[in-house]
Structure 1
Amino acid sequence: MPDKLNFSFPVSLLSQEADLILNAGDKYTAQISPRLQPNFLAGTRTLAGQVALLGTEQKSKAGDLGTLTADQNRKFAALLEKVGAARDTAKRAFKGQDVKLREEFQVGINKPDDLGSVLQRARIILASVRKPANATTLGTKGWLDDDDEALELAIEALDDTDETQEAAKTTKASSTGDRNAKANELYEALLTVQNAANLQWPESNGANATIRAEFRLGKFPPRNSGNSEEKKKNKPTPPTPPA
């Protein structure tokens, strides 16, 4: 399961605020750097770039997943057409043989209708049309070896698409986990920079208001955001009602 974000606002806002805070850090680097670890600002700037890049890659993976779904639907419809043709031919070739039609050609079996089940039924039908005894009888109703191959190709096409989609889902989940982990790290780093700025330019001195604003103190994190567990711990206890 991907890492959860430790804040409740969009990652895009985190990236935007990071740029502002780090610009302030660069502007006042001589004053604030002594309060930070060596190369802290440069490292945080690199981290901000990684978060932005991972966000872009994640959107790309989501787009790939959507395209695969559309492609899968097209191939799904193509397979159903081939399966339907095989069933219809079997019903003509083996008219009245209800048990055979149901067991070998899956006639009347349409549930479950998930992709895996549809593929499984299609493979049963393919194996049945290729049985020598069945093939001869099906041939009298117009079924050809080419129809076997067309059914097999339709199965393989949909099966390949399913595997590709599952891989895309896995990659997307991995991308989300990487992005969230980096975003949490960036969030904590920005709070560290802000804490250093707060110590360097305390709010009690009104002359510091402009610099504090550049570090987004009082503006970031936005109100009603942050770690949900922290919110629970900091939530005031309601007064006990009188007896």
Structure 2
Amino acid sequence: MAQRLEQALLDPTIGLPVVAHLSEAFVSEFKAQIAHLAKLGTDRNEASGATGILLQERDVILSEFILQASALRRVARHAFTGQGVVLRSEFLIGRSAPRNLAMILDQGRTLLAAVRHYPTELSAFGWSSTATEAFERTVESVAALCRERDNAGIEKLDFTAERTAAANLLYRQCIAVQNVARFAHARQLAAKDVQSVAIQSHFLLDQFPRRFTGSSAREDLPSPTVAPTADPAPVETRV
């Protein structure tokens, strides 16, 4: 929609009368805002690709964690035969499987603490210091996944807020262009002829935004010659 209005402004016949009523700053800001919103869309696509790579890495790390934790519990059952309290409380045998990444990390830290507390007992049944080091690295990888997830959540909120603000600003700029087009071409539009149809088509008049027919419809649009504010876009606008 915004690109079509930009093309309409460039039209030497119907665009110049409208541009004459707009400030140079508004026209340049309008073009820049279209480019900015397009870039945000590209950035989002690139971020989605990066998320796919992170998910693959997560699957590899969690698979490694499950294998190592299973091997550790198997050794612990031999090392602490008959010691149900130790097996349940420190090696988490018999506990419900973790349902999310944070619970997996908590489980990993508990198991790692048990490994460090009972090195002699575990080594007697084949758990080596090398295995402990490998498990430490895996638990740290799980912790890194949690940090990446939290950071990605914050970045997603920031990106969504930025994109929403940019879209709202562009929306108001589009409405302003349409309002100026109605004023600049008032006589032609009143004629209801072929030229009026062309103007309506190029500037999407009575096409965007959709007409609101409720009882609370109102006009609340910014002046096209004043820099757009950061107020939210109108949601009930009669065009």
TM range (shorter): 0.7 to 0.9
Aligned residue among 29, 43, 50 for 1:64: 50
Question: Could you tell me how far apart the structure 2 residues matched to 1:113 and 1:228 are?
Answer: 42
Counterpart residue number, 2:198: 210
Q: TM (normalized to structure 2)?
A: 0.81
Q: Distance in 1 between matches of 2:175 and 2:153?
A: 33
CA 1:83–1:114: 2 relative to 1, 3 Å: same
TM-score (norm 1): 0.80
The one of 61, 64, 68 aligned to 1:75: 61
Matched with 1:30 is 16
Paired position in structure 2 for 1:42: 28
Shift >3 Å, 4+ stretches: none
Larger deviation, residues 71-80 vs 58-67: 58-67
Pick aligned residue for 1:91 from 66, 77, 86: 77
Q: Report 1 or 2 for greater relative contact order, CA contacts < 8 Å, sequence distance ≥ 6.
A: 1
RMSD: 2.2
More helix by share: 1
How far apart in 2 are the matches of 1:20 and 1:167? 37
Q: Distance in 2 between matches of 1:222 and 1:56?
A: 27
Counterpart in 2 of 1:196? 180
Cα offsets for 1:74-117 (capped at 9, x unmatched): 21111111111111100111101000111111111134422112
Question: Structure 1 stretches of 5 or more lacking a match?
Answer: 1-16, 235-243
Fraction of identical pairs, as percent: 28
1:1-243 matched pairs, under 5 angstroms: 17-27=1-11, 28-131=14-117, 134-202=118-186, 203-206=189-192, 207-222=195-210, 229-230=235-236
CA distance in 1: counterparts of 2:55 and 2:154, whole angstroms: 15
Aligned AA (1:172): K
Q: Distance in 2 between matches of 1:31 and 1:219?
A: 21
**Take 2:76 and 2:45, find their aligned partners in 1: how far apart are those partners?**
47
The range that moved more, 114-123 or 61-70, is 61-70
Unaligned runs of 5+ in 2: 213-232
